[in-house]
Chain A
């Protein structure tokens, strides 16, 4: 039985399996599931008067084990080729689904269309805008569909989103703005991890530096958001240089661990330096951004100036467009940097550091630029986060933020701007859809992370497009592109 299990557990190219072997393997999986459930899932420790007691829930476990059995059986039957007519039927079904999918134009187009449909179908908008305004926003969408370019499609969707039917305040704030923050963070980290190949597990440190810089500058000196934003970015970049200098000569996982340690050190300092940072209570009452001096308030603010009826939605939409512009600037700068010598040196360094040195490239400086530019984008995002929340505390800057941002970069496909955006949309937006499920949300997030990675180890969009071409640009396959030593 164990032998059958190993045979069927191997990837899809194994020998055709018999029904009996598939059943035996599914039974093994069910037994393992039962062992896993014992006792940690099967019993729940409950607080009683004196000490802990327990309650069993064998019913749920029985269902779970049965589900594992059925699921494993289904994988066995659908995965490797099954002998006989049943197998042929399954194979035909599978290829039909794949063919339909390709005919529509790939998964990205499908995803974009589904999102558009979902938005269109979900009821009336909250703001009345003139017709021509909607039409203006629909232009990039049309270009996207016409050119079959997912980048344009997403840009159109992003521009259109706050005015889409069904986009309520809740959706703009908790879906739109949140996803864009992670898109921006993902793009920022993409410079470090995706282009330069430096594994940074403490990226959240720069996000925190940006957020606290804005909060402290605004509260201490009364500076406005628009002055503080570049300052926060510059401060984060300086921290990037400061932290980067000693650690960047480390290679591989050592770099990962030291950056993780620095991320944690910054967080612990934020918690304990009470007089400056307010400790675990954080900083509240952080000023909101203004539109050329116009505040978003009931009297004498934005709404009065333009003769509109005041609604808090204006401020949310304003915030949405700020982060959208910030993210697009990040993207624009990154795309441009890739075509400059410094960007090519980043990618070359990811491919082979020793060869770079032999060509006269100063590795330390090149790494520092990648690290500090990535940090700067993190700092911008942090400043935005602070002004959006109006309140920050060290709790927002845990290691898990770094892990999630890194996951977005790797799941999206290292170095791919579109891939990172898609990953942020699916992972952050997707789990936001599960918000009602509360604690199950993060569980789904974790399972999705593992599943996507096993499905596409190089991320959703793998490979890279050369930055310059003599005759025509040809996409380079993901299997050739290296991932860097750091």
Chain B
């Protein structure tokens, strides 16, 4: 039981990270119908920016926990802003020139951008695994015991898990509000439905798409910093696997649907953690991908997506 609860907590934490990245995929897919393959690497860039910001602040073992948490929030905000610039630039350079063109072209530039980001970070930061300074990592690893086991195994929820889930819930609430109740959200939904019509009714389509990329990148940065804090170690290659898993999550939940992305993220996180916990970690990726394949074959619109009707 304690083991189950612990896996549940871990799964939800990992799922929150996947969900945050998945939102970027799902929003971009919804608005311009492309798989933004570089998004996983934007997450990786966000994670590195977070790491460097932590190093710049230079926390020590003597820093009180409150300050560390304040610093974390500060790092989150700055990382979001700087990563957003990356998201904006990528869209501007690699996707906008191809808008309305061949459908596969932006897919290829996205793969190209992904290669560029991976290698740029490898060159700039080196190929070795980077560890978050233990001063920060260990302090955030502490937490509360939620369930005390008889055999000495306790189910624990750590501060960082609380922060991750808390920040995710807050951001989800904020962005749901943004999409459903603001003029930006309306513009975005209009562009999803019919870009030409939206432009004719006075929506600035280019700007709306740019903002979508900016939001997606900012959320990926949050996921990146969370990943950094949770695992305490990152390298230039984390974007690929996390990106694919998050995309799986977006498809699982129903691509184009915001709550779907979050639900898909949580499911993928839980599947992965439980599979690793009860079956073995060797095939945990196979489990996630197999579920993706099955869902797509039997329910292509995903869990919360709208089915696509074939028009003759």
Question: Would B114 and A446 count as touching, CB distance under 8 A?
Answer: yes
Query: Given A258-B292, A443-B119, A483-B103, are A39 and B52 neighbors across the interface (CB < 8 Å)?
Result: yes
Q: What 0/1 readout, one digit per residue, does chain B (231-273) give for beta carbons within 8 Å of chain A?
A: 0000000001000100110010000000000000000000000
- Chain B residues with CB under 8 Å of A457's CB are 98, 101-102, 105
Cβ B85 vs Cβ A254 within 8 A: no
Interface segment, one of A245-253, A364-372, A373-381, A384-392: A245-253
- Of A51-59, A166-174, A180-188, A312-320, the one touching chain B: A51-59
In the complex, whether B189 has a CB less than 8 A from a CB of chain A is: no
A38 at interface, CB cutoff 8 A? yes
Decide if A36 touches B85 in the complex (CB within 8 Å): yes
- Stretch from A81-89, A155-163, A302-310, A407-415 at the B interface: A407-415
Measured between beta carbons, the chain A residues less than 8 angstroms from B171 are none
- Contact indicator A442/B119 (Cβ below 8 Å): yes
Contact of B121 among A32, A40, A269, A354 (CB under 8 A): A40
**Inter-subunit contact A43/B109 (CB<8 Å):** no
Q: Does B178 contact A (CB under 8 A)?
A: no
* Residue from B105, B112, B128, B282 in contact with A447 in the complex, judged by beta carbons closer than 8 Å: B112
Query: Taking chain A's interface residues, is the majority helix, strand, or loop, or is none over half, making it mixed?
Result: helix
- Assess whether A122 is interfacial by the CB under 8 Å rule: no
Determine if A265 and B289 form an interchain contact, defined as CB atoms under 8 angstroms apart.
yes
Verify A446–B292 contact, CB threshold 8 A.
Answer: no
Given the contacts A54-B56, A458-B102, A272 and B283 also touching, CB distance less than 8 Å? yes
Complex alpha-carbon distance, A28 and B133, angstroms:
36
Task: Name which residue of chain B comes closest to A33, CB basis.
Answer: B89
Q: With contacts A254-B300, A410-B104, A449-B109 known, is A11 near B97, CB below 8 A?
A: yes
Give per-residue flags for A431-469: 1 if the beta carbon is below 8 A from chain B beta carbons, else 0. Answer: 000000001101101111110011001100000000000
With CB as the reference atom, state the residue of chain B lying closest to A357: B312
B128 touches A47 (CB 8 A): yes
Given A51-B135, A406-B108, A446-B244 contact (CB < 8 Å): no
Residue in B closest to A31 when the chains form the complex, CB atoms: B85
Question: How close is A31's CB to chain B, nearest CB, in angstroms?
Answer: 10
How far is it, in angstroms, between the C-alpha of A256 and the C-alpha of B251 when the chains are bound?
A: 12
Whether A449 and B56, one on each chain, are in contact in the complex, defined by CB atoms closer than 8 angstroms, is: no
A35 within 8 A of B: yes
Contact of A32 among B89, B120, B126 (CB under 8 A): B89
- Interface check B290, CB cutoff 8 A: yes
- For residue B309, give the distance in angstroms from its CB to the closest CB of chain A: 12
**Which chain A residues have a beta carbon within 8 Å of chain B's beta carbons?**
6, 9, 11, 32, 35-36, 38-41, 43-47, 50-54, 193, 199, 246-247, 249-251, 253-254, 256-258, 260-262, 264-265, 268-269, 271-272, 354, 399-400, 403, 406-407, 410-411, 414, 439-440, 442-443, 445-450, 453-454, 457-458, 483
Query: Which positions in B face A, CB cutoff 8 Å?
Result: 29, 33, 35, 37, 45, 48-49, 51-53, 55-56, 82, 85-86, 89, 92-94, 97-98, 101-105, 107-109, 111-116, 118-126, 128, 130-135, 206, 240, 244, 247-248, 251, 282-283, 285-286, 289-290, 292-293, 296-297, 300, 308, 310, 312
Could you name 27 residue pairs across A and B whose Cβ atoms are closer than 8 Å?
A: A11-B97, A40-B49, A40-B124, A40-B125, A41-B124, A43-B55, A44-B125, A44-B126, A47-B128, A51-B133, A52-B133, A247-B297, A257-B35, A257-B251, A258-B296, A264-B244, A265-B289, A265-B290, A268-B283, A442-B115, A443-B115, A449-B108, A449-B111, A450-B112, A450-B116, A454-B94, A457-B105
